[in-house]
Amino acid sequence: MKFIEEIARRRTFGIISHPDAGKTTLTEKLLLFGGAIKKAGAVKSNKIDRYVTSDFMEIERQRGISVATSVMGFEYKNVKINLLDTPGHKDFAEDTYRTLTAVDSAILVIDCVKGVETQTEKLIEVCRMRQTPVMAFINKLDREGQDPFDLLDEIEKKLNISVRPLSWPIGMGKSFKGVYDLFQKKLLLFQSSKNELTEDILQIDDLADPRLEEEIGDSDAALLREEVALINGVYPEFKVEDYLEGNIAPVFFGSAVNNFGVRELLDCFIQIAPAPLPRFTEAREVHPEELDYTGFVFKIHANMDPRHRNRIAFVRVCSGRFQRGHNYHHVRLDKKIRFSSVTAFMAQNKEIIDEAFPGDIIGLYDTGNLKIGDTLTGGEKINYKGIPSFSPEIFKEVVNLDAMKSKQLDKGLRQLMDEGVAQLFTYELGARKLVGTVGQLQFEVIQHRLQHEYGAKCRFHPVSLHKACWITGDDQKKIKEFIDSKYRHIAKDKDGKWVFMAETKSWLQMVEENFPGIDFHITSEF
């Protein structure tokens, strides 16, 4: 197959949801359709929240599992689908944000009973920042959920995104009869089936067709016609461009656990979801069709085997063909590196591959050369933009408990930060080190890993801070004045960028007013 065709047939996406909405179940059904697994129950959920947080062995085991399932490649109707898993646990939200930088589109799963939940709001914000096209799957229609029109309103309001239903439910919960697929004009009749792929599909191009009464009864047929007329009146006609520009989210209804409505989602997805898109480097836009290889690291997994300190770096191929055994340019280190062991992720297996195409995710075994955000190219000195860091929610000062091991502590902290486990801020004054995270769980993971992998002991001392704000401004003199006047509250992030550590919200507001020439950002991507 030609290089261009290989690119055109790839779809790289992530599934996002609030925990328990059905992400794992939907993933599994997609893999079933793709023939990548034979029966349900094969995909392990990488949910850590089911276990007590202090159970480190369990965390480690879970980390192992999530490596195997964090990228799943499979073929469906001659389309190569790369599904990137995102951790459901909110403490690992940063990992999810970074994974979203490596996809071309996303599928959002919403529980029809619970509606839009908090974590979804933040994830959609990340998609919006990058104009990532989103499709929504409203799940669990076999349960008594909220009214579908109300759900759509809620999505529009809470997620600040326009929607367009492409399928419509007939009843819900006990009276759930099926959905009408507005995209393919098919009536799907519901059958509860957890483990097999069953179909009862009727092509009904015109809803006036009397077969509708035969299948779902008079009153449901009348209601469906009325609601579809309403949908067509209220929502604009669906245009693929609107979806591709990230302006409108097509919505499907179904029940993942019952395999219902999933095939329709997948069929529409492969038709309309974007093939690998161009991506921005600091210098220029790179098109996937360019022949020179480029790619970036968006995730690092370490310590899969405690006996070896091996790490696997997940690289999104952005342009050109990646070939095993070739020398590639590591832009940050300005040196050539050869990767002889390259892994592709196929459903639940990892397999050694010889080449990869734009849109693919490859795993590179690494001994410490790579960190998140690194660009690898055929030789060009360009850096991919946009692996965002968000201001952490929880901050703690690192207290070294063994003066003899301070080197090990520094090294361990540096490497864990390279993996993106947490963020490190080093104060200008006294070189105090603060670790910032989204959740409590990371501190336990860090402490445990520092001790077991680096032989360093530390304690964390809570520090009350509102936000870490990256600071920029056009006038260097003003920045310097600001830093001098607030030097007790100024730190550097791991890349040496200036950060203002704001203690309270009101204080931050006051400082923003008093220093009009300075811009304060709560993400590092600006």
Binding interface with ligand G4P (CB under 6 A): 17, 19-25, 45, 47, 88, 139-140, 142-143, 255-258
Least separation, in Å, of the C-beta of 68 and ligand G4P? 16
Find out whether 387 and 81 touch, Cβ atoms under 8 Å.
no
CB of 82 or CB of 86, closer to ligand G4P = 86
End-to-end CA distance of the chain: 39
What three-state secondary structure class fits 46?
coil
The minimum distance between CB 351 and ligand G4P, in angstroms, equals: 25
Name residue 107's beta-bridge partners: 15, 135
Looking at beta carbons only, is 17 or 389 nearer to ligand G4P? 17
What is the SS3 assignment for 459?
Answer: strand
Tokens of 216: 């779902």
Give the span between the Cα atoms of 224 and 354, in whole angstroms: 52
Looking from the CA of 48 toward its CB, the CA atoms found within 13 Å total: 27
The minimum distance between CB 159 and ligand G4P, in angstroms, equals 17
Shortest reach from residue 136's CB to ligand G4P, in Å: 14
Q: Which two tokens stand for residue 316?
A: 């999104």
As measured in angstroms, the least distance from the Cβ of 413 to ligand G4P is 31
Question: What single-letter DSSP state applies at residue 392?
Answer: P
Pick 67 or 468: Cβ nearer ligand G4P: 67
Q: Which is nearer to ligand G4P, 190 or 243 (CB)?
A: 190
Helix (H) / strand (E) element for 186: namely strand 186-189
| CB neighbourhood size of 72 (10 A) | 25
In the bound state with ligand G4P, the residue whose beta carbon lies nearer, of 47 and 287, is 47
For residues 391 and 134, give the distance between their C-alpha atoms in angstroms, rounded to a whole number.
Answer: 25
Residue 199 CB, shortest distance to ligand G4P, in Å, is 17
Distance, CA of 408 to CA of 455 (rounded, Å): 7
For the chain, count helices (H), then strands (E). Answer: 14, 31
Task: Between 23 and 301, name the residue whose CB sits nearer to ligand G4P.
Answer: 23
d(CA 288, CA 292) in angstroms, rounded, equals 9
Smaller CB separation from ligand G4P, 37 or 212: 37
- The C-alpha torsion from 287 through 291 and 297 to 302, rounded to 10°, is 150
Give me the least distance between CB of 15 and ligand G4P, in Å please.
Answer: 8
**Residues 408, 410: Cα–Cα separation, whole Å:** 5
- Looking only at the bridges linking them, the beta strands covering 105-111 and 134-139 are parallel
* 90/350 with CB nearer ligand G4P: 90
In the complex, least distance from residue 117 CB atom to ligand G4P, rounded to whole angstroms: 10
What are the residues whose beta carbons fall under 8 Å from the beta carbon of 194, sequence distance 6 or more? Answer: 40, 257, 258, 259
Length of the chain: 526
Residues 6+ away with beta carbon under 8 Å from 303: 60, 63, 309, 310, 311, 449, 453
Closer by beta carbon to ligand G4P, 261 or else 373: 261
261 exposed, middle or buried (CB, 10 Å; 0-12, 13-18, 19+)? Answer: buried
Q: Based on C-alpha coordinates, what's the Rg of the chain?
A: 25
Separation between Cα atoms, residue 65 and residue 74, nearest integer Å = 18
User: Are 57 and 64 in contact, with CB atoms under 8 Å apart?
Assistant: no
Residue written as tokens 């993971």?
Answer: 445
Q: How far is the CB of 58 from ligand G4P (least distance, A)?
A: 17
Nearest to 458 by CA among 522, 409, 392: 409
**CB-wise, 20 or 125, nearer to ligand G4P?**
20
Give the shortest CB-248-to-ligand G4P separation in angstroms.
24
Q: Which of 378, 362, 383 lies closest to 329, judged by CA? A: 378
**Shortest reach from residue 328's CB to ligand G4P, in Å:** 35
Nearer to ligand G4P, 257 or 268 (CB): 257
CB of 172 to ligand G4P, least distance (A): 11
CB of 206 to ligand G4P, least distance (A): 29
Rank residues 142 and 493 by Cβ distance to ligand G4P and give the closer one.
142
Q: Between 63 and 466, name the residue whose CB sits nearer to ligand G4P.
A: 63
- The whole-angstrom distance between residue 76's C-alpha and the CA centroid of its chain comes to 22
